[in-house]
Amino acid sequence: MEKELVGEVLEEEKYEILRLFERKIALEEVALTLENEGLNEKERDKLRKKVEEEYTKNKENLSTWWREKSEKYSWKKVKNGVWEIDFNTNKIILKG
Amino acid sequence: MGVNSTNMGNLSPQWNGNGKKTRSVTFCVTEDCNLACKYCYMEHKNKRKRMTFEVAKKAVDYILNDREEFRDNAIVWDFIGGEPFLEIDLIDKVSDYIKQQMLILDHPSFNNYRFSFSTNGLLYNTPKVQKYIRKNKGHISVNISVDGNRVKHDLQRVYPNGKGSYDDVVKNVPLWMEQFGDVQTKATFAHDDLPHLKDSIISLWNLGIKWVSANVVFEDIWEEGDDEIFENQLMELADYVIDNELWNDYSVRFFNPRIGFPLDKELKKDNFCGAGHMLAVDCEGRYYPCIRFLDFTLMNKVGLCIGDVDHGINEDLQRRFWGLNLENQSSQECINCEVGTGCAWCSGFNYDVAETDTVYQRATYLCKMHKANVRACEYFWQKYEEATGKKSPRREIREEKLGVHYLQFITGNSITPHCNYRNNFKTKESMSKKLIEKGLKFARDNHYTPVFLGNQDGNLEENYPNNIFILDSKDKTSSKNNITIYNNEVADTSNSSDIATILISKKNIVKIYKFIEELNRKKRINIVLQDVEKWELEDINEYEDQLRQVSQLVIESYENGTYLSINILTDRLNLNEHYGCEAGVNSIALAPNGKLYICPAFYFDEPENNIGDLETGIKVKNDHLFKLSNAPICSECDAYHCMRCKFLNEKLTKEINTPSKIQCVISHIERNITRELQQRLIERRLLSSVDKIPKIDYLDPLEKIIRNKKEA
Ligand code: SF4
Ligand code: SF4
Ligand code: SF4
């Protein structure tokens, strides 16, 4: 798989997506607690619903971030390629 | 000198709350431990006390719901003991509750949290702990304490039956590294294990633990000679790092390049530890400013409780921490300590040993150990520079904190002068190679950056590359960083250096504009006026005229974005305090006779007028006169760009802090033409209109001083 450096984002922009990314993992990890004994049926259903809703919302927010930033910075794209961000350097890498 | 990217001395990159302000909350889930470490600060560990889920739940509810008290948007949930993994079932339940509640309450920390563990590692590979880690993988940090090599670790970290725990811990290290990558451990040293320090750190590195956050204990246990053992161990470790070129990938905190400098204003207003900005909860649900204030961690005092899960935090009991800083808890000796940065303390320990129940009395039992650490750190970074030929991070930090100090090498008696002096020597004597080497060692040992004046027929730049050279324009040089001197003529402008110094004698005042025009492409031009003591009124008038013409060049350069920088015209635009020559303070000169001088001018004027040599060091008499505050005329003057030449002062007025009239008049003409230039730049919108240079009615500040005195 080819890798190419295609851009860079600002520090605050990096944190925006980092938080969305962490939220995604947090939702996945909270989903693992849904079968816990401590919850009654009602609480369980309510929590499951919230996890699902938030997960969908977060997914949309992640896509929006990529769309907006790629438009703002006009990153190169290729067919079937994906962009990745390096959280240490704020650099955007195209994998294709 | 280039700068190397090295990790040595740093801690591994810590999680920063994803850019949000972070609060740390510590749950002491048990006071029990499966080890009985000899230096453990938890003095009264016992098997009885464990936290219940109800207690933890109340604390979590309080922390997540009271947004007034807990405003931070990122939280580190820290689980500690005793040994926390003894209570993995409870931790699992509490962690799940925290996650659920953060989500239900839409708490901002749901996007920014960590579960953090400090463990002895014995239970790390158990199925329950491993299951927990898998379940929370994206949000966990684990620190396993491996204390060094087997001997050192087993000296301290023993089972209750006295057996060492090294083998049982180390067998879990590969799994830990596999799961968390570049891991860090904390190794603590006390009197008994100091002789194992070097081997311990190397052993940790060999295990693959590249980051070692080592420290020495705060307690009053240090014996006579411990500092020497410590220093020797660290120096041997330094040699090992250098010999094996480990500085890029490995780190031990003892070689932190930031330690051992005087404290600046900000550090004096800071508290070293975060007590009071963290919260610790004990097994029974009482709140503390940090784990080191819990009852069972103190030897002499009862715990400093600031509330509990049923009543919340008593703000009055927490107030003492908000104002706590270095200055108000330290002695004058520490506040003014020459090597104070990085000298650590723990507020909990301070409280425990203070004469009264205060946190405002800093314990300093590790004073001599810190000083030994600083000496060894210094040794390491010097060796680093010798081995790599690169500027060390420590030097960078020193220059940032204390300014750059230069040692000028007058490499021969026939050099072209570079400042307000004449070289009237008839001899051709050159500085010997031996003296140059000695001088370079002196520079390294005393943190001077070498600057070579002259090139001894082109040999020096080749032999000592990466240094700064100040050379006559007839000497060829390939470095942009060098400074080229044009001695009353600008014949060849092809020289590659970016900085030009033009020497102007009285008869060449009339050529100033022409010379500058020819060197217009240089990044920086310094004009040095020679024999000013012979100037007469017509010279002054001519000078003024030339400066006006040069102003036009400056304006054009601002218009086309090349921004000509000339000491006599543009420096004052950007200054709001005196700049002045740093001779004798931040720079000294070494002459071919082996003596040191305030600057080369003093050598060429009178070689007897030295300030010491490389063996006996520098002794400047009455150096308080170098300070602006002790220069009565200059301190009342706003010709901030003026060099305030100490040499001319002494030569013309016989006082090193008192300028002659002609020096002041020349500087004020420059000041006033700069003022005109500033106005024109502002009119053309090429400069912002802040810090306007005021109009004045004197050319010699002494006139103003005398006038003011009379009026008073
Ligand atoms: S304890 Fe000693 S080394 Fe540390 S700051 Fe005070 S005087 Fe300096
Ligand atoms: S102009 Fe005179 S008084 Fe002002 S700084 Fe220069 S030497 Fe000192
Ligand atoms: S005292 Fe300073 S300004 Fe004067 S000749 Fe020496 S270095 Fe230059």
Q: Which two tokens stand for residue B224?
A: 């006579």
List pLDDT tens digits, range B302-340: 999 999 999 999 999 989 998 899 999 999 999 999 999
Does residue B639 form part of some domain? no
Spatial strand order of the sheet with B211-212 comes to B184-185, B211-212, B251-252
Report residue B358's pLDDT band, with 50, 70 and 90 as the boundaries. Answer: very high
Number of domains chain B contains: 3
3-class secondary structure for B584-642?
Answer: CCCEEEECCCCEEECCHHHHHHCCCCCCEECCCEECCCCHHHHCHHHCCCHHHCCCCCC
List all residues 6 or more positions away from B671 whose beta carbon is below 8 Å from its beta carbon: B572, B638, B639, B641, B642, B693
pLDDT of residue B3: 46
* Beta-carbon count within 10 A of B681 CB: 20
pTM of the model: 0.79
Residue with tokens 């010709």, as numbered in its chain: B639
Residues B34, B57 within the same domain: yes
Q: Which of B19, B96, B110 sits opposite A26 (nearest CB)?
A: B110
Residues B556, B540 within the same domain: yes
pLDDT of residue B1: 45
List pLDDT tens digits, range A9-52: 999 999 999 999 999 999 999 999 998 888 889 999 999 999 99
Closest ligand 3 atom, residue B643 Cα? 3
Cis peptide before B82 (omega within 30 of 0): yes
Q: Is B132 on the interface with A (CB under 8 A)?
A: no
List pLDDT tens digits, range B199-250: 999 999 999 999 999 999 999 999 999 999 999 999 999 999 999 999 999 9
Residues B55, B139 within the same domain: yes
Does residue B124 form part of some domain? yes
Residue B294 CA, ligand 1 centroid: distance in Å: 27
Residues B33, B20 within the same domain: yes
CATH number of the domain residue B57 falls in? 3.20.20.70
Sort out which chain A residues have CB atoms less than 8 A from B97's CB and list them. Answer: 38
List pLDDT tens digits, range B397-441: 999 999 899 999 999 999 999 999 888 887 888 999 999 999 999
Q: Determine if ligand 3 sits within 6 Å of the CB of residue B320.
A: no
Residues B407, B502 within the same domain: yes
Determine the residue of chain A that is closest to B133 in CA distance. Answer: A29
Residues B490, B359 within the same domain: no
List pLDDT tens digits, range B26-73: 999 998 888 887 766 555 555 568 999 999 999 999 999 998 889 889
List pLDDT tens digits, range B120-163: 999 999 999 999 999 999 999 999 999 999 999 998 888 988 89
Residues B359, B417 within the same domain: no
Q: Which two tokens stand for residue B187?
A: 């190794």
List pLDDT tens digits, range B616-646: 999 999 999 999 999 999 999 999 999 999 9
Measured distance CA(B174)–CA(B207) in Å, rounded: 8
pLDDT of residue B231: 98
What's the mean pLDDT in B559-588? 93
To the nearest whole Å, the CA of A73 is away from the closest chain B CA by 23
Would the CB atoms of B135 and A38 count as touching at under 8 Å?
no
pLDDT of residue B47: 59
Residue with CA nearest ligand 1 atom 7: B334
Residue B337 CA, ligand 1 centroid: distance in Å: 6
List all residues 6 or more positions away from B101 whose beta carbon is below 8 Å from its beta carbon: B60, B61, B64, B107
Does residue B194 form part of some domain? no
List pLDDT tens digits, range B603-614: 999 999 999 999
Residue B464 CA, ligand 3 centroid: distance in Å: 25
Contact call for residues B173 and B209 (beta carbons, < 8 A): yes
Q: Predicted ipTM?
A: 0.92
pLDDT of residue B520: 82
Is the pLDDT at B574 greater than 50? The verdict is: yes
- How many percent of chain B have pLDDT more than 70? 97
Of the residues B536, B564, B592, which one is the last residue of a structural domain?
Answer: B564
Nearest CA to A29 out of A55, A64, A11, A4 is that of: A55
Is the pLDDT at B492 greater than 80? The verdict is: no
Contact call for residues A50 and B103 (beta carbons, < 8 A): yes
Contact call for residues B392 and B241 (beta carbons, < 8 A): no
To the nearest whole Å, the CA of A57 is away from the closest chain B CA by 14
Q: Which of B18, B93, B99 sits opposite A30 (nearest CB)?
A: B99
List all residues 6 or more positions away from B707 whose beta carbon is below 8 Å from its beta carbon: none
Sort out which chain B residues have CB atoms less than 8 A from A13's CB and list them. Answer: none
DSSP secondary structure, B18-79, as one string: GGS-EEEEEEE-BS--S---TT-S-TT--SS-B--HHHHHHHHHHHHH-TTT---SEEEEEE
Does residue B549 form part of some domain? yes
**A:B CB pairs within 8 Å:** 53
Interface residue ranges in chain A relative to chain B, Cβ cutoff 8 Å:
11-12, 15, 18-20, 22-23, 25-30, 32-33, 36, 38, 47, 50-51, 54
Residue with tokens 């217009």, as numbered in its chain: B520
Q: How many residues does chain A have?
A: 96
Q: Which residues of B69-99 are buried (b: 16+ CB within 10 A; e: fewer)?
A: ebebbbbbbbbbbbbbbbbbebbbbbbbbbb
Kindly report which listed range (B301-305, B490-494, B673-677) carries the lowest average pLDDT score. Answer: B490-494
Measured distance CA(A59)–CA(B488) in Å, rounded: 71
Q: Which of A22, A23, A32 sits opposite B135 (nearest CB)?
A: A32
Residues B351, B251 within the same domain: yes
Q: Determine if ligand 3 sits within 6 Å of the CB of residue B345.
A: no
Sort out which chain B residues have CB atoms less than 8 A from A22's CB and list them. Answer: 18, 111-112, 138-139
Nearest CA to B435 out of B467, B457, B412, B469 is that of: B412
Measured distance CA(B493)–CA(B430) in Å, rounded: 27
Residue B525 CA, ligand 1 centroid: distance in Å: 45
Measured distance CA(B500)–CA(B487) in Å, rounded: 10
Of the residues B510, B540, B564, which one is the last residue of a structural domain?
Answer: B564
Burial-class residue B641 by CB neighbours within 10 Å (0-12, 13-18, 19+). Answer: buried
Residue-number span of the structural domain to which B289 is assigned: 15-144+276-323
Q: Is B135 on the interface with A (CB under 8 A)?
A: yes
Burial-class residue B157 by CB neighbours within 10 Å (0-12, 13-18, 19+). Answer: buried
Is the pLDDT at B503 greater than 80? The verdict is: yes
Contact call for residues B405 and B451 (beta carbons, < 8 A): no
Sort out which chain A residues have CB atoms less than 8 A from B90's CB and list them. Answer: none
Residues B382, B306 within the same domain: no
List all residues of chain B from 16 to 55 with a beta carbon under 8 Å from chain A.
18-19
pLDDT of residue B32: 87
Residues B120, B54 within the same domain: yes
Mean per-residue pLDDT of chain B: 93
Of the residues B564, B590, B607, which one is the last residue of a structural domain?
Answer: B564
pLDDT of residue B496: 67
List pLDDT tens digits, range B2-24: 445 789 999 988 888 988 889 99
Q: Is B99 on the interface with A (CB under 8 A)?
A: yes
Would the CB atoms of B103 and A11 count as touching at under 8 Å?
no
Is the pLDDT at A3 greater than 60? The verdict is: yes
Residues B252, B285 within the same domain: no
pLDDT of residue B39: 65
* Beta-carbon count within 10 A of B549 CB: 13
Residues B58, B124 within the same domain: yes
pLDDT of residue B41: 55
Kindly report which listed range (A66-70, B67-71, B352-356, B358-362) carries the lowest average pLDDT score. Answer: B67-71
